[in-house]
Amino acid sequence: MNFDFSPEQAQLQNEARRFLEDRCPIAAVRAVLEGEAPFDRGLWTGLADMGFLGAAIPEEFGGLGLGYLELCVIAEELGRALAPAPVSSSIYLAAEFLLTAGDAAQKARWLPRLASGAAIGTFAWTDGKDAAVQAAGGRLTGAKLPVPDGAVADVAVVAAAGSLFLVELAQPGLTRATVQTLDPTRNHARLDFAGVEAEPLGAPGAGAALTRQVLDKAAVLIAFEQVGGAHRALEMGRDQALERMAFGRQIGSFQAIKHMLADMYVEATLARSNAYYGAWALSAGAAELPRAAAAARVSATRAYQLCARNNIQVHGGMGFTWAVDCHLHYRRSNLLATTLGGLAHWEDLLVERLRAEAA
C-alpha cells in the first residue's frame, strides 16, 4: 500500500496550520492553562467559521461533507498546536455517535449545531466509582467520571445499562463538577444524574457494539492529534539541539543528544505510518479498521509520550521549568494517552484483533 493524502487534502492541512498558527499561538494555550476559562472560545468560533468542525458531517446536516481523511489532516494540526478546544469530544465522539446511531430527528436537531459550534457534545462513558448510572423509565440516575469537556457540553451521549442515551445537559437534576487533570487545557468533569430525562440512541442493548465502532474511528483521529504533537515536540528538540551551545559546540553534536533525537524521529515516523494506515481503513470502511485503529493508537501514544519526554531532556534543566513550553506537550501527551482507554487497553485490543484475524 502506498497511501498519501491528495493535493487538495494537503492544501487543507496547510490552511489549517496557518489558521492555528494565527489563532492558537502558544500564548493562547497558556492563557487557558493559567486562566479560568475551560477552553478558548474565540478559537472554537474560528474553527466553526472555517468549516473544520463540520468537515466530516454531511452537507444535509450543516457540514462540509468532505470525509474522514480531511478530518484526519485537521486533527493532526490541532494536535500540533495543542488546541485548547473540545473538538474530539464534540466531533470525533458525539457527532459520530449521532451519525452512526441517531434517528432522523436526533440528527436534524443536533448535527447542524455541532457542525456550527453552536453546541458542544461529549461522550459519558466511565461510571463513577460510587454511583454507576442506571436507566429506568426514560431517566438516568448515577454518575459519570471523568467526562471530557463535561463542564461545557450541551449534549452528551451516555452509556448506561448496556444501551446509549442522548441527554441534553441543561436540565434539572444534572450537576457538574470540574475534575482536575494533568492538562487543564482539556476540561474534564464529573456528571451526576438525578432522574435526568434521556432519550434512547440506537437500538436497546446495542451500546457496547456501537461504542466499539465509534471508539475505533475516534482512535484514528486521536492518533493523528498525537502524531501532530509528537512531530512538534521533535521539532522543538531539534531546534534546541541546533541552537544551544555547550563547551563551544552545538549540543546536537553530542552523541547522547543525537541518539535521543534519532529515537524520537523513528517513533514519530512509525506512528505516522500507522496513522496513515488507520486513515485509509477509516475512510474506506475497511474490515481492517479495528486492527488498524488499535495499531495507530498504540504507536501514536508511544511516540508522543517519548517525544514529549525527550524534548524536556534535550532542553536540559530549563526544560523542566514553567517558562519553557516543553511541559505543555508533556501534559497533553499523557492526557491523550488515557483518552478512550489507556495504552494497555489498546495493546490488549491489538493482540486480540490480530489473534482473531489469524484464526
**pTM: predicted TM-score of the whole model, two decimal places:** 0.97
Kindly tell me if the per-residue pLDDT of 298 is higher than 60: yes
Residues in the chain, overall count: 359
Kindly tell me if the per-residue pLDDT of 358 is higher than 90: no
Kindly tell me if the per-residue pLDDT of 24 is higher than 70: yes
Helix 26-34, helix 326-338: angle, nearest 10: 70
Tally the C-alpha atoms within 13 A of residue 121's C-alpha that lie toward its C-beta: 28
**Alpha carbons 80 and 51: distance in angstroms, whole number:** 19
Kindly tell me if the per-residue pLDDT of 303 is higher than 60: yes
CA angle 159, 163, 166 (to 5 degrees): 60
- Report cis status (omega within 30 of 0) of the bond before 146: yes
C-alpha cell at 198: 434521556
With beta carbons less than 8 A apart as the criterion, state whether 223 and 299 touch: yes
Name which of 51, 47, 40 is nearest 20 in CA terms.
47
* Domains and their CATH numbers in the chain: 7-116 (1.10.540.10), 121-201 (2.40.110.10), 207-358 (1.20.140.10)
Write out pLDDT tens, residues 82-124: 999 999 999 999 999 999 999 999 999 999 999 999 999 999 9
**Alpha carbons 313 and 240: distance in angstroms, whole number:** 11
Contacts of 289 (CB under 8 A, 6+ apart): 216, 217, 220, 278, 281, 282
Q: For residue 216, what pLDDT is reported?
A: 98
**Alpha carbons 205 and 232: distance in angstroms, whole number:** 42
**Alpha carbons 21 and 25: distance in angstroms, whole number:** 5
CA 170 to chain CA mean position, Å:
24
Kindly tell me if the per-residue pLDDT of 1 is higher than 60: no
Kindly tell me if the per-residue pLDDT of 23 is higher than 60: yes
Residue 130 binned pLDDT confidence (cut-offs 50, 70, 90): confident
Q: What does the H/E/C string look like for 208-255?
A: HHHHHHHHHHHHHHHHHHHHHHHHHHHHHHHHHHHHCEECCEEHHHCH
**Mean pLDDT computed over 339-351:** 96
**Alpha carbons 135 and 44: distance in angstroms, whole number:** 33
Contacts of 210 (CB under 8 A, 6+ apart): 97, 100, 101, 164, 202
Using left for φ > 0, alpha for ψ between -120 and 50, and beta otherwise, residue 127 falls in: beta
Of all residues in the chain, the percent with pLDDT exceeding 70 is: 99
Q: 7: how many CB neighbours lie within 10 A of its CB?
A: 8
Residue 246 binned pLDDT confidence (cut-offs 50, 70, 90): confident
Name which of 84, 214, 200 is nearest 135 in CA terms.
200
Per-residue b or e along 125-153, where b marks 16 or more CB atoms closer than 10 Å to that residue's CB: bebbeebebebeeebbbbbbbbbbbbbbb
**Mean pLDDT computed over 140-168:** 96
Pairing status of strand 199-201 against strand 188-197: unpaired
Q: For residue 2, what pLDDT is reported?
A: 65
The chain-wide mean pLDDT, for the chain, equals 96
The residue type found at 196 is V
Name which of 75, 77, 78, 85 is nearest 37 in CA terms.
85
Q: For residue 89, what pLDDT is reported?
A: 98
